[in-house]
Each structure stands twice: as C-alpha cells, then as structure tokens.
Amino acid sequence: MNTSKYSVQIRDLDLHFGEIKVLQGLNLDVGEGEFLVLLGSSGCGKSTLLNCIAGLLEITDGQIFIEGENVTWKEPSERGIGMVFQSYALYPQMTVEGNLSFGLKNARVAKDEIKRRVARAADVLQIEPLLKRKPGALSGGQRQRVAIGRALVRDVDVFLFDEPLSNLDAKLRADLRVELKRLHQQLKNTMIYVTHDQVEAMTLADRIAIMKDGKIMQLGTPDEIYNRPQNRYVADFIGSPSMNFLEGTLENAEFSVGSLKLPMTGYNFLNGSASNGDTTIGIRPEHVITGELVGRASVQTSVRINLVEPMGSDTLIYADLAGNQIRIRMDGHAKVRTGDDLAIGIDAVRASLFDKKTEIRL
C-alpha cells in the first residue's frame, strides 16, 4: 500500500462497546500537513475516533496507519502523536516546565535536548514567564497554551485536539482559534481537531468530516460542506440559522411546492441531469434574496412577515412560503415590521435538492 502522501490513514475501523457499535467500518485519509476537523453533535463518535487514533481506546477491528506505519497495536506514546484535551489535563503538582518535559523525560531524551525543546515551545506559545508556575496559578487560556506546548515539545508529526477550546469563554476562544490557525501555518503539522462548534470547524479546517452515529456523513472542504452538502443531515447541521427545507416534487427540472414553481435552471445536478419524483429543496436563510437584488433573481415572489428578530448585525425574519415557515436573513439595517409583505427572490443555483426518501443530494 502506498501510504507516503498520507499522514494518518484509517481502514475499516470498528469499535464496539458491548452491543453498542460506536464506530462502524470507518475509512479516513488525512493528508500530510492537513488540518482536518471532525465535526458532529455529541455522541456521534468524533472523540471516540480521536481516542482510537491516539491509541487510548482498544479498537474492535480495522487498522490505523500514521506516517505510513501500522500503529494499530502500538502504545499511545509510540505513535508519534501529541494530544491536547478539553480539560487541559495538566499535571497539577508539576510546574509548567515539568508538565512540558514530563513526556520527554519518560522517553529518556537528553537533558540539553529537553531544555532546548521546552524553550522553543515556550517561545512559540509565548509562555516563557509562566515556566516556573504551577497550573493552578494560570488562567484558562494560559493552561490551554501549556497543554498545546506539551504536544509541541514531543516533536511529532500529528497533533490531536479534543475540543480544546470548549472550556474557554467566547472572547478567549476566538483569540486562541486565530492563534491555532497561525500555529498550523507556522508548524505545518498534520492536525486532527474534534469540535462541535461549526464556526471553529469552518474557520480552521482544510477539510471537515461531519460525523453522525459513528459514520462520516460528508468529508470535504468548508466550501463544499456549506455550498454543496451531500445529504440533508449535513445541510441541516451546517449553517446558523439552519437551512430552510421545503418538500415538493421535481418534474422536468422544475421544483414545485403548492403554488410555488422553481425552475432549476443552472442547478448543478450530481448525475448531470434532473430526475423526477418527491424532492426536498434546501435554501439557506442568507441565500433568500431581498431588497433591490430581487429583480435579478430567477424566481420572485412575496411573503407575509410573521416575526422579526433583530440581532444587531443581521435581522432574522420568519415568514410563510407555500405553507411552510421559512427563515430569511436580512442585514441589520433592514426596516421591516411584522405583518408587512416582503418581496423575495430565490436563486436556483444556490439551492440544494435532496431526494425526499434517501435524503441524498440530487
């Protein structure tokens, strides 16, 4: 097997806890230097998968390769990985320096080398002034930096992050997110990052794997995931507020629900041409056209506003379209009131069509 251009490869991975099948026949290739985000709601198996890669969980079946080497039976410390945990998991009785050098001492790295690597990690993460402190005397952000440093000193090719920012407050989370991205650009390591926060996923990832019930629902770039979701689950999961779904029928490349008719001209069908049958259309709230641009949209109609939610930067509008409640995102300056009629336009190119039964993209 040619494994040279992949950093981490997972083959037919199964993990069962008794009767419960947490991961089933999972395959995943992570490229050299790639930032891969495992995204999903809690219980989807994303953290479990990360723990399997780290070797912290015994797998039921399958193989794991890291840097071309089969590490399926190897100890976590022998796999060439560094890991950062949600709760930081710093050793409370050791100083920051002790925390950073613990793994190196276990690996019997020479003293000078330990010193050099700790100094370098401290420099990269700007934690030199903290080296003599204990974790108890650090703030949340500083603790997470030290935790990242602990992975950094190991000089490994693959970093595993298990929801590293979830315990931080919103402001700090945004700061550290940027810092992580910068760190990745600087170090060019392979990073596998577990999160349930789609903003983190969209901003950090080269590719995102969206997981559900132990399976990968879609693996693609943030742009693919957002604009061309492969199934209804992914379409619904990504985006906030989430996508509007209307159930209708597709006939001769025209989608119809009630009195509304949407000719799908310009829509990029997966297998090249439109089939007929029961279909669900998905339209993102931000892709519903309002204001002056309505005139240029392929389909134009008017809706009655049920509810207005001003959110500062945006205004969210709830309205009825062909018997379904839809959400429309307008900008914050929009002067609209409940009860008004609003002219909207829909662009077929930016919509997504799903087979109603299989929920797979057409």
Residues lying near other proteins in the complex (CB under 8 A): 51, 54-56, 75-78, 81-83, 85-87, 89-93, 102-103, 106-107, 150, 154, 162
- Given the complex with other proteins, which of 127 and 225 has the nearer CB atom? 127
Minimum distance from residue 82 beta carbon to other proteins (Å): 7
Of 154 and 284, CB closest to other proteins: 154
| Structural tokens at position 223 | 């742009």
What minimum distance in Å lies between the beta carbon of 103 and other proteins?
Answer: 3
Residue that the structure tokens 């379904």 belong to: 324
Q: Which residues pair with 127 in a beta bridge?
A: none
Choice between 100 and 344, CB closer to other proteins: 100
Residue 4, judged by CB atoms within 10 A of its CB (0-12, 13-18, 19+), counts as exposed
Longest dimension (CA), the chain: 77
Nearer CB in complex with other proteins: 43/258: 43
Peptide bond into 241 cis (omega under 30): yes
Report the 10 Å Cβ neighbour count for 192. 26
Nearest approach in angstroms of CB 102 to other proteins is: 5
Nearer to other proteins, 150 or 177 (CB): 150
For the CA atoms of 1, 213, 80, 78, what is the dihedral angle to 10 degrees?
Answer: -90
**Residue 340 three-state SS:** coil
Q: Tell me, what amino acid is at 162?
A: D
Token look-up 């700790």 returns 118
Of 187 and 311, which CB lies nearer to other proteins in the complex structure? 187
Q: How many helices (H) and strands (E) does the chain have?
A: 8, 20
Q: Nearest distance from residue 35's CB to other proteins, in Å?
A: 20
**Residue 154 beta carbon to other proteins: minimum distance, rounded to whole angstroms:** 8
Question: Minimal CA–CA distance to 281: which of 254, 251, 244, 318?
Answer: 244
In the complex, what is the shortest distance from the CB of residue 16 to other proteins, in angstroms, rounded to a whole number?
Answer: 15
